[in-house]
Amino acid sequence: MKRKNHRNIPIFIPHLGCPNMCVFCNQRSISGKQSFCRDSVKCEIDEALSTIEKDAEVEIAYFGGSFTGIDRKLMIYLLDVAEEYIRNPRRGSARVTGIRMSTRPDYINSEIMEILSNYHIKTVELGLQSMRDEVLISSKRGHTALDAEKACRLIKDAGYSLIGQMMIGLPGSTLEDEIYTAKKICEMGADGARIYPTVVFYDTELAEMAKRGEYEMLSVDDAVMRSKEVLEIFDKNNVECIRIGLCASDNLLDEEKVMGGANHPALGELVMGEEYFDRMQSEAEHIVAENGDCGVITFTVPRGEMSLAVGQKGKNRKRLEQRFKNHRIVIKEANVPKLVSSFEKRGDGGINCILNQ
């Protein structure tokens, strides 16, 4: 279950520490940050802390580059900065409780783990992308699936929380490859996951591949359906998916920077909406099979999840009404628990269903 009072203070370090150039990568466009200035880090943290509620659990998060691959002096400086906030809380501000970082599997080794052991590291996010070597090679990722397994083992053995980042629609990748990757992330002990359907940015090799017809860009619909299949695997294994799709930035709306692919401002909602639809449709089919024409089918969902259940522009409700034409579909929200399904026959022949993702 997601911790509602958890907050990250993201410090973006685009491309620092990464000599590789994966075919899909343009971190300056993805993060919206063109450069990095070490002298501004404390100001960024202070500014962020001033906006966070005091009872929040805060992690200073170094994102964007391969943090454990940057110059050692700079890495230690940034760790020291974060550690200062942990050891000496700012009066009146939310308390920083740990450090989070994103990095690559091949930049996790015993030397790195020894350095990290001196700090309050809580979470390491690994850019796994795929657990199929042929997909990693096609993407010029620069590491193998075995590298990923070794890195995950080191992180879990150190007692850190592990977040596995994977991508949908990489060159040569199929839905079956992505399902396999999701299952491997679960097997490797991940505590959470991020799903990134591929967006094609200009000034990347992937854009050139698309121009040459060597790569077919994902449509939003295809990205939603493939991501939904992956999300269901994480759900079944109790691995929290903390994000689907890239974080919104002005660059994602800039047609001069984005060539195409799975670029939608509410991609995560679309995916979770599809997951909701599947569950409601399955429940409705069961009801009809057991009770015939029951008149009214009412779905009650947890507060705050009404928009997911109804779908964008009422898409899910419309599809259910079309599928079950002899029934009236009602979707409402209430204070209902998670992961509970119950049926209640009413005097008018209707049936209530309580559902949740």
Q: In percent, how much of the chain has pLDDT > 90? A: 64
Distance between CA atoms of 6 and 48, rounded to whole angstroms? Answer: 13
Band of residue 145 on the pLDDT scale cut at 50, 70, 90: very high
> Higher-confidence residue: 156 or 4?
156
Distance between CA atoms of 195 and 178, rounded to whole angstroms? Answer: 10
Burial code (b: 16+ CB inside 10 Å, e: under 16) for 328-342 equals ebebebeeeeeeeee
- In sequence order, what are the residues at sequence separation of 6 or more whose Cβ sits closer than 8 angstroms to the Cβ of residue 62? 11, 13, 78, 82, 99, 100, 101, 102
Distance between CA atoms of 158 and 135, rounded to whole angstroms? Answer: 29
Band of residue 18 on the pLDDT scale cut at 50, 70, 90: low
For 217-236, write each residue's pLDDT tens digit: 999 999 999 999 999 999 99
Mean per-residue pLDDT for 47-66? 90
For 316-347, write each residue's pLDDT tens digit: 999 999 999 888 888 988 888 553 454 555 55
pLDDT at 2: 45
Domain 6-265 -> CATH class:
alpha beta
pLDDT at 43: 94
> Higher-confidence residue: 183 or 258?
183
231, 274 contact by CB (below 8 A): no
Q: Is the pLDDT of residue 155 over 50?
A: yes
- Strand-pairing partners, residue 352, are 298, 344
Q: Name the helix (H) or strand (E) containing 166.
A: strand 161-168
Q: Is the pLDDT of residue 279 over 60?
A: yes
Residue whose structure tokens are 């097997």: 187
Band of residue 1 on the pLDDT scale cut at 50, 70, 90: very low
- Return the CA Rg of the chain: 22
The whole model's pTM is what? 0.88
From the CB of residue 235, how many other CB atoms can be counted at a distance below 10 Å? 14
The least confident of 30-44, 57-71, 181-195, 299-313 is 30-44
313, 266 contact by CB (below 8 A): no
> What DSSP assignment string belongs to 187-217?
HTT-SEEEEEE-EEESSSHHHHHHHTTSSPP
Mean per-residue pLDDT for 265-294? 89
- In sequence order, what are the residues at sequence separation of 6 or more whose Cβ sits closer than 8 angstroms to the Cβ of residue 127? 66, 102, 103, 104, 105, 165
Q: Is the pLDDT of residue 31 over 50?
A: no
Mean per-residue pLDDT for 165-176? 97
Q: Is the pLDDT of residue 310 over 70?
A: yes
Closest CA to 110 of 141, 74, 148, 155: 155
Q: In percent, how much of the chain has pLDDT > 70? A: 87
Distance between CA atoms of 292 and 326, rounded to whole angstroms? Answer: 10
Band of residue 349 on the pLDDT scale cut at 50, 70, 90: low
pLDDT at 350: 66
For 112-138, write each residue's pLDDT tens digit: 999 999 999 999 999 999 999 999 999
Q: Is the pLDDT of residue 246 over 50?
A: yes
332, 305 contact by CB (below 8 A): no
Q: What are the extents of the domains in the chain?
A: 6-265, 273-354
